Structure formats: C-alpha cells, structure tokens
Structure 1
Amino acid sequence: MKYKFRFQKILDIKDKLEENKKMEISNILNDVNKVKEELEYLSKSKESKNMEIKNVMTVGTNINTIKSMNEFIYSIDLKIKSITKKLNLLERELEIKKKEYIEVMKEKKTFEKLKEKDIQKFNEKLKKQEEQFVDQIVTFKHSISN
C-alpha cells in the first residue's frame, strides 16, 4: 500500500505561494535600499551645496549666484520630499507583503501538520494490517499443525 496525501496539491501551491512572497519581499527590499541610497546621495548633495553657499558668501559674490544656488537646493528639497513619499509607500507595501507571507506560511504549516498526522495514521494502519496478517499466518500454521 502506497501513501498518498490527499491535500498534496494544495501544499505544493502553498509552497509556490511562499516562494513568490519571498521574491516579492526581496524585490521590494531592493527597491527600498535603492531609494534610501538615492536619499542619502541627495542629502549629501544638499549639504555640500549649503557649504558651498557659506563659502561663497564669506568670500563675497553677486546675489544671482547665491539665488541660483538656493534654487538648486530648493529643487533638491523637492526631490527629497518626493523620494521620501516613495520610500514610505514602499515600506507600507513591504509591511503588507510581510503580513501576506506570514499568512501563507501559517497556512502551509497547517497543511504540513495535517500531512504529518495523516502519515502517522497511515503508518499505524499499516502496522495493524501487518499484525493482522502475521496473526493470520500464525493461526493458519497452528491450525495445520493440529
């Protein structure tokens, strides 16, 4: 008698879903890291431009140069705000995917536990059948010898 788990296809689907969720989380994490790097780069650019403005102001320069530098800093601020919003969206999406992953994992574990219990029942049934067979053989041999 061969063992067959009746929910094996569902378990296989749960496995695939779990892998897909892992990949989705990994992709979002990569995106989050890229956005963080971009934010860091923009912050450093803003900081260096601010230092440049301070240096130019101490040396003395015309107002148009300072104005254009301030406009550049303003544009960096706008980019930082935009990228921060993007980062927040990605982090929310990441949290959602993590919750989905946890849910799929729970479902998969449930089916794995069902499978373990089913295998245990199958093995017990098989053992009982073997014991009955052995009993029948012993009974048959005993009846033949008498």
Structure 2
Amino acid sequence: MNYHYKFEKILDVKEREKDEALSAYQNAIRAFENVARELYTLLKKKEDLESYQAEKMASGLSVQKIRHYRKFIDDMEKTINHYQQLVVKARNQMNWYQQKLQEKNIEVKKYEKMRDKDYSRFLEKLKMLEEKQADEISTQAFFRKS
C-alpha cells in the first residue's frame, strides 16, 4: 500500500510561491544595499569636501572658491536627501517582502504539518491492517491444528 498525500499539488504550489517570495525578498535586500551604499558614498564625499574646504579656508581661500564649494555642497545635500528618501523606500519595500516571505513560510509549514499528521495516520492504519492480517493468519493456523 503506497502513501499519497491528497494536498501534494497545493503544497508544491505553496512551496513555489515561497521560493518566489524569497527571490523577491533577496532582490529587495540587494536594492536596499545598493541604495544605502550609494548614500554612504555621497555622505563620505560630502564629509571629505567639507574637511578639504576647512583646510583651504585656514590657509586662505577666495570668495569665488568659497561660493563654488558651498554651491557644490548644497547640490550634494539635495542628492543626499534624495538618496535618503530612496533608502527609506527601499527599506520599506524590503520589510514588506520579508513579511510576505514569512506569511508564505507559515503557509508551507501548515501544509507540511498536515502532511506529517496524515502520514502518521496512514502508518497507524497500515500497522492495524498488518496486525489484523497477523491475527487472521494465527486464527487460521489455530483452527487447522484443532
């Protein structure tokens, strides 16, 4: 007697959905990391530029150069603000995909647990059937000896 789980196809679909959710989550992580890395690079450039400007101002700097650096830093701050918003969006998206992945994991676990319980019941029935057959065989053997 072979075991067949009646919800096997549903479990396969749920596992496929979980794999797709995992892939989407991993893509969201990569997108978040890329945007965060770019933000870090911009912040580092801004910090380096401000320290360079402070050095130059200590040794004397023309008003034109001060304006130039200030304009460049202002533009960089706008870019940094934009990337900060992108980081927030990417983090929110990553968290959303993580939540979906957790939901899919829970669904798969439910079906796996149902399968395990069903398989246990199958084994119990199989054992009872074997015991019944063994009883019948021993009963027949007893009657043959009598």
Q: TM-score, normalised by structure 1?
A: 0.92
Counterpart-to-counterpart distance in 2, 1:26 and 1:41: 22
Shift, 1:114, TM fit = 0.5
In structure 2, distance between residues paired with 1:96 and 1:42: 27
Query: Which moved further from structure 2: 108-117 or 134-143?
Result: 134-143
For residue 42 of structure 1, what is the amino acid of its counterpart? L
Which residue of structure 2 lines up, in the alignment, with residue 71 of structure 1? 71
Whole-angstrom CA distance in 1 between matches of 2:58 and 2:108: 66
Structure 2, unaligned stretches of length 5 or more? none
Q: Percent identity?
A: 27
Letter paired with 1:2? N
Distance 2:74 2:61 in 1: 20
Q: Which runs of 4+ in 1 moved over 3 A?
A: none
Q: Distance in 2 between matches of 1:63 and 1:90?
A: 40
Alignment of 1:46-125 (within 5 A): 46-125=46-125
Aligned-pair Cα RMSD in Å: 1.3
Aligned length: 146
Equivalent-residue separation in structure 2 for 1:109 and 1:61 (angstroms) = 67
Q: Which residue of 2 aligns with 1:12?
A: 12
Amino acid at match of 1:63: V
**Cα deviations by residue, 1:55-105 (Å, 9 ceiling, x for unpaired):** 222222322221111111111101111111111011111111111111111
- Unaligned 5+ segments in structure 1 are none
Matched, 1:29 2:29: yes
The TM-score with structure 2 as length reference comes to 0.92
Taking the aligned partners of 2:145 and 2:53, their CA distance within structure 1 comes to 111
- Cα distance in 2 for residues equivalent to 1:121 and 1:42: 61
Instruction: Note the alpha carbon deviations across 1:24-76, whole angstroms, 9 max, x for none.
Output: 22221122122121111111111111122222222223222211111111111
